[in-house]
Structure 1
Amino acid sequence: MNIKQFFGINSREALKQVRMELGEDAIILSNRAVDGGNRITALKEEDLDAIVDNVATMEASYRTHTEGFGEDNPSALISVINKKIEGFHSNQAQPFAPSMIEPEVPAAKMQAEPVFAQPAPDTIMQASMLDASQKMTEILNEMRSMRDVFESQLTTIAWSNTQQQYPTKTRILNVLLSSGFSAALARMLSEKMPANLNEAKALAWVKAILSKNLDTIPNEMGMLDQGGIFALIGPTGVGKTTTTAKLAARYVMKHGTESLGLITTDAYRIGGHEQLRIYGKILGVMVHAVKDEADLKIALHELKNKRTILIDTVGVSQRDTMVTEQIAMLSNTNAGIKKLLCLNATSTGETLTDVIRAYKGKGLDGTIITKLDEAVTIGGVLDVIIRGKLKLYYLANGQRVPEDIHLSNKSYLIQKALKIGADGHSLQFRNEELPFIMANTRPSVNTLSTEISRG
């Protein structure tokens, strides 16, 4: 079979590879999200007939080999085969009779003549049956694989019919995908969308649903004004130190320096803690550097009279085992530290999902979106926040301290995200590509609230 697989960082990239190698008439068999991107299985149109013929051949072989077995799974077939082998052994056993005793052979003759070991009949039978069971397993696995392929094809046809019947839903679906939202969330919104809406009303409905499900803090009472201990966590390079400095400057501008404490756990990078020390010196706030849990407890004790304490943590890849140690260090202080996860707006949805899964630990208190100014699309980061039911605190969109940090504004974010998807023509999928993207997508956001409150 000339079935080939293509991998890309997203569906668009993978589909581009398919067209380049197999042509515009390529048959897409599956399109699945995998770690790091998307994997598409495809073949040329002229190869499809050969596959159908192969399936028919396998079915005939399957019926021949399974006749009388009564089961269609490899483990059951092997069990039946083993029983047949045991029965073969039983049939070979015969009652003892004196005539079966062979005459005694002199020892001298036994030593002189070489003895050649012959394979026992039951051993030959067992090897033959096991070989048959292995072939049967291969046939069944291939048939299951082909069943999945044809199920995918049927689903693709169904989505194509949906496109023709509901062009507005197709347009909105394309906007959501082009904005960076996941196929799962986009699919659910398109399915839940009321029928007979024009494009403007449909887009307004989507904005209202996304706004209802995006949890943000309405003002700074929830953080800087109320006070508390806040630790900024996240992978390397997401901008935790700069964001900590922005929040510190924002606090000093409103409440002064006397009630603010700064702590850094970044003792791994060469001069890592110096960056925050420089910001602290400019603000007039002392920065405490800690290396472990014991140091952190001492620093928190020294700063116990401070109204607000900001902790800048060392950046650790979500795949590093140190993440667990870092979360444990913050949790074991019993000081009520609130963990705010910094999410890089330029990262893919799959990467951000992986980050949240790794850093969630005993729970996250909120998120901060960083590098908003560098992101081409921002639907991905909003998507993971909505699906993860996380609270969004601030938006960071540059390097200036303290100017480039703002309270999260859900209306602005959703408007910005969907505008990119609607206007960014180079980012949009072609309508004929949408069924292949959605065919293997299962909704994973069933808890999304799609009821719009009235009044």
Structure 2
Amino acid sequence: MNVKKFTAATSRDALRKVREALGPDAVILSNRPVDGVVEILALDNDDVASLSAPSIEESTPQFGAFDNDFDPEPAFARAPAAFAPAFTAPEPRQPAPRATAPQPQMDPFAGQPSVARPYVERRAAPAAEEIPPTYANRRAPAQEATIDMAAMSSMMSAAIAQAKESATLEMSGMMSEIRAMRGMMETQLAELSWNASSQREPQKNAVLREMLAAGFSATLARYLIDKMPATKDAAEALRWIKTVLARNLTTIANEDDLLSRGGVFALVGPTGVGKTTTTAKLAARCVMRHGADKLALITTDAYRIGGHEQLRIYGKILGVMVHSVKDEADLRIALKELKNKHTVLIDTIGMSQRDQMVTEQVAMLSESGADVKRLLCLNATSTNETLNEVVRAYQGSGLAGCIMTKLDEAAAIGNVLDVVIRQKLNLHYISNGQRVPEDLHLADRAMLVDRAFRSKGAGNGFSDADLPLMMAAAGANAGNLHNDRSLREVSLG
């Protein structure tokens, strides 16, 4: 046991000396002040472990080596002096034995007498003197195994990728929550702002109710009301709104601009919007103006049962040949054969605006080798959102114009006018029945705007309590109203 003493002016300094000499695992035996200093007796942790658990070599007596012979001498008789007891009793004196010759013994295996061989003690060679290890050597870390750097790099890359993915998901969730909070705050602030504005100018509520009941979108209504000049009279404010709407509604001034110029026109739109009937009405107008030999009809409706037969019946009545095509190659051939015709009308297949074949149809008409002008048929009974989807799907590289159909079936037409104004479409005709060609008229913008405010549905009334919420929702859906491109192009006068 190697007990060491350490002295210092304070206990902290003495403990530091113990730690530097014996390490952090040293055992403190005593700590006392002596002559103005602090004295600490400490013991190394390894010495304590050796005292508490003696090794097997120390607790087991060592025996000499045998050379296949029995050693009659006990092991403790040949043990070194370190294992001898501290006190040994004196042995009694005995007369020396008389010398006798060694007696032969019988070898139990060979059957011959043998002479006992004298015992020769064989001691192990002394071990080389070991240098006691220092504290640094005893505390030195064991040599680590070789690390596979490729496997370690792969594990680190996987861990980094997983951490990045987790961070991205957390960031995405946090941004979604921030956007939701922003939208909620904008909605509440817009509602408060509208309440304050409507209290100062009550005529705005009256005009807003009129526009919403006519079918116009809340986004366009709010934009126009925000731009409306200050006035105290609700009737005067409504007249200003009608004037702005009529000014921004684009129509053709004269039918001669369309029929006299001629060309190739394709009527496109969703299923059931009235393309075939409208084609027959236009064909009748062309025949009455230029004659049957100046007109040609083409149908691409080869999928619907009896679809092309309806147009053939109209062509037979008018005395016009109807050509049926299936794909782009047939359309190229047909248009090349009919290039001497003054006007060519194409009745296309009706399909949903969400159908992927709409893009193929637009490409077929655009790449047919002729200047095909597409006229989009808009159903007046459809909602504002549906009409916007139809325009976006069929617009392609641009539309020559549009035709409003089923005007006689619509409860309100503000939804169609809203889309035509915001999408900057050129409104050619309006169709209000099935008669050919009577129920096809040129678009009159003043009449359409006036009819939009007169044909209000009975169930489209809104209370004053509903208007702030609708205006706030319109502001949240459109973002910044004044940065909307379709609204910036609205002319205010």
Picking from 226, 237, 240, the partner of 1:191 is: 226
Corresponding position of 1:375: 410
Give, in whole Å, the separation in 2 of the partners of 1:101 and 1:192: 82
Q: How many residues align?
A: 336
**Does 2:300 correspond to 1:259?**
no
Q: Aligned to 2:243, which of 191, 201, 208?
A: 208
- What are the equivalent positions in structure 2 for 1:152-231 lying under 5 Å apart? 152-231=187-266
1:359 aligns with 2:359: no
Query: Hey, what does 2:435 align to over in structure 1?
Result: 400
- Quote the Cα distance in structure 1 between the aligned partners of 2:214 and 2:344: 36
Partner AA of 2:492 in structure 1: E
User: Where does residue 282 of structure 2 map in the other structure?
Assistant: 247
Q: Could you tell me whether the CA contact under 8 Å between 1:316 and 1:323 is conserved in 2?
A: yes
Q: Which residue of 1 aligns with 2:470?
A: 437
Distance in 1 of aligned mates of 2:403 and 2:205: 32
Residue type of the partner of 1:189?
L
Tell me by how many angstroms 1:102 deviates: 7.7
Q: Deviations over 1:121-165 (max 9, x none)?
A: xxxxxx99x999988986775465344323321221111111111
Shift in Å at residue 278 of structure 1? 0.5
Q: Equivalent residue for 1:272? A: 307
RMSD: 2.9
- Of all paired residues, the percent bearing the same amino acid is 56
Larger helix percent:
1
Name the structure 2 match of 1:3: none
Show the 5 A alignment for 1:418-429: 418-421=453-456, 424-429=457-462
Whether contact under 8 Å (1:266, 1:312) holds in the other structure is yes
Give the deviation of 1:305 after TM superposition.
1.3
Q: How does 1:129-148 map to 2 (within 5 A)?
A: 142=177, 145-148=180-183
Contact 1:293–1:333 under 8 Å retained in 2:
yes
Query: Is residue 133 of structure 2 the alignment partner of residue 100 of structure 1?
Result: no
- Give the match for residue 90 of structure 1: none
**How much does 1:99 deviate?**
2.6
Deviation of the 1:222 alpha carbon = 2.2
Name which of structure 1's ranges 365-374 and 325-334 shifts more when overlaid on structure 2.
325-334
Contact 1:212 1:449 in 2 (8 A): no
- 2: distance between equivalents of 1:203 and 1:225? 38
Is 1:261–1:309's contact at 8 Å kept on the other side of the alignment? Answer: yes
Tell me the distance in 2 between the aligned counterparts of 1:101 and 1:344: 85
What code does the residue aligned with 2:398 have? G
Per-residue deviation at 1:413?
0.5
Q: Secondary structure at the match of 1:309?
A: strand
Partner of 2:319: 284
In the TM superposition, residue 447 of structure 1 has moved relative to its aligned partner by 2.3
TM-score by length of 2: 0.64
Distance in 1, matches of 2:452 and 2:291, equals 36
Mark the runs of 5 or more structure 2 residues left unpaired by the alignment: 1-136, 146-161
Letter in 1 for 2:360: E
Secondary structure, counterpart of 2:429 in structure 1: strand
* TM superposition shift of 1:449: 3.6
Q: Are the aligned partners of 2:358 and 2:393 in contact in 1 as well (CA < 8 Å)? A: yes
Superimposed CA distance per residue, residues 204-239 of structure 1 (whole angstroms, 9 cap, x where no aligned partner): 111111111100001112212221111000111100
Instruction: Say which SS state the counterpart of residue 292 (structure 2) adopts.
Output: coil
| Cα separation, 2, equivalents of 1:361 and 1:101 | 74
Aligned-partner Cα distance in 2 for 1:318–1:198? 43
Higher relative contact order (CA 8 A, sep 6+): 1
- Counterpart position of 1:70: none
TM-score scaled to structure 1, two decimals?
Answer: 0.69
> Could you tell me which amino acid in structure 2 is paired with residue 451 of structure 1?
L
Structure 2 residue aligned with 1:414: 449
Q: Is the 8 A contact 2:220 2:487 kept in 1?
A: no
Q: Which one-letter code corresponds to 2:466 in the other structure?
A: E
Equivalent in 358, 382, 385 of residue 347 of structure 1: 382
Could you tell me whether the CA contact under 8 Å between 1:192 and 1:450 is conserved in 2? no
In structure 2, C-alpha distance between the alignment counterparts of 1:333 and 1:145, rounded to whole Å: 48
> What CA distance in whole angstroms lies between the structure 2 residues aligned with 1:172 and 1:206?
8
Instruction: Summarize the alignment of residues 312-351 of structure 1 with structure 2, pairs less than 5 Å apart.
Output: 312-351=347-386
Distance 1:159 1:215, change over 3 A: same
1:187 & 1:361 partners in 2: Cα distance? 29
1: CA distance, partners of 2:329 / 2:138: 84
1:332 CA displacement: 0.6
Distance 1:147 1:216 in 2: 41
Residue-by-residue CA offset, 1:62-90 (whole Å, 9 max, x unaligned): xxxxxxxxxxxxxxxxxxxxxxxxxxxxx
Deviation at 1:432, TM superposition (A): 0.8
In structure 1, give the amino acid aligned to 2:469.
F
Q: Distance in 1 between matches of 2:452 and 2:142?
A: 91
CA distance in 2, matches of 1:408, 1:306: 27
Task: State the distance in 2 between where 1:176 and 1:415 align.
Answer: 12
Higher mean alpha-carbon deviation, 168-177 vs 234-243, is at 168-177
User: How much has 1:339 moved relative to structure 2?
Assistant: 0.5
Residue segments in structure 1 that go unaligned for 5+ positions in a row = 1-95, 105-126
Distance 2:449 2:395 in 1: 25
